[in-house]
Chains A and B, each alone.
Chain A
Amino acid sequence: MKNKLQELRKNRKLTQEQLAEIIGVSRQTINAIEKDKFDPSLPTAFRMAQLFEKKIEDIFLFNDKD
């Protein structure tokens, strides 16, 4: 699943480490999500949406083929 996490994180001037700590996952997980290698769980996606004050679908671009 494509996402805008890296762009949103950089706009907030957050490092992967800082974002990981806020969301409650490892830095490697943030990295894997940003590289579209891993789709986060629903609670993690909600935490990201709350943090960036966006809707989940504004951060994660759902493609039925994924």
Chain B
Amino acid sequence: MTNERKKITVILAVATWTWVGSTALTSFGPRFIWSEDNYNLSALSLLLNVILGLWMVISLRRLFLNFDELELKIHLDSLAITLGLSVVFGMGFNISEQIGLLPFKADISALIMFMSLCYWFSLMINRRRYL
């Protein structure tokens, strides 16, 4: 791994974890840290969350621009599979809740977890295919 790649990866990791932290702060802050009536702090926390989220997206894009052609192919292929499966299963998940097939509430976090697992498995399969 080149020094530039290491730097980009570290920045992406920092951006991702601070975004995860700010998501937790925005979700639980109004209940456990400040009063739910304090809309200013909640709005500020949400704004911080969005800014950190954008930083994460920009960092991810920088990593993609640093990939060479094979790495790019592996990641784009994995992203395509993840996007396709997420749309299909996400819709199925949502519909199954609407028609009462799900015994629990269809939460967005379940979709994010599903997408993460899809991306990880697709990456492993594609890496095995090309490397």
A residues with a Cβ closer than 8 A to B are: 24-26, 28-29, 31-32, 37-38, 40-41, 44
* Interchain CB contact under 8 A, A26 and B71: yes
* Interchain CB contact under 8 A, B131 and A28: yes
Q: Any chain A CB within 8 A of the CB of B130?
A: yes
Residues of B within 8 A of A29 (CB): 68-71
Residues of A within 8 A of B70 (CB): 25-26, 28-29, 32, 38
Residues of B within 8 A of A32 (CB): 70, 130-131
Q: Which residue on A lies nearest to B69, using beta carbons?
A: A41
Docked Cα-Cα span, A8 to B84, in Å, equals 41
Docked Cα-Cα span, A26 to B68, in Å, equals 7
Docked Cα-Cα span, A32 to B131, in Å, equals 6
Give the contacting residue for A44; candidates B69, B71, B73; CB below 8 A.
Answer: B69
* Interchain CB contact under 8 A, A37 and B129: yes
Q: How does the 8 Å CB contact mask read for B120-131 relative to A, with 1 for contact and 0 for none?
A: 000000000111
Residues of A within 8 A of B68 (CB): 24-26, 29
Give the contacting residue for B73; candidates A24, A31, A38; CB below 8 A.
Answer: A38
Residues of A within 8 A of B130 (CB): 28, 32, 37-38
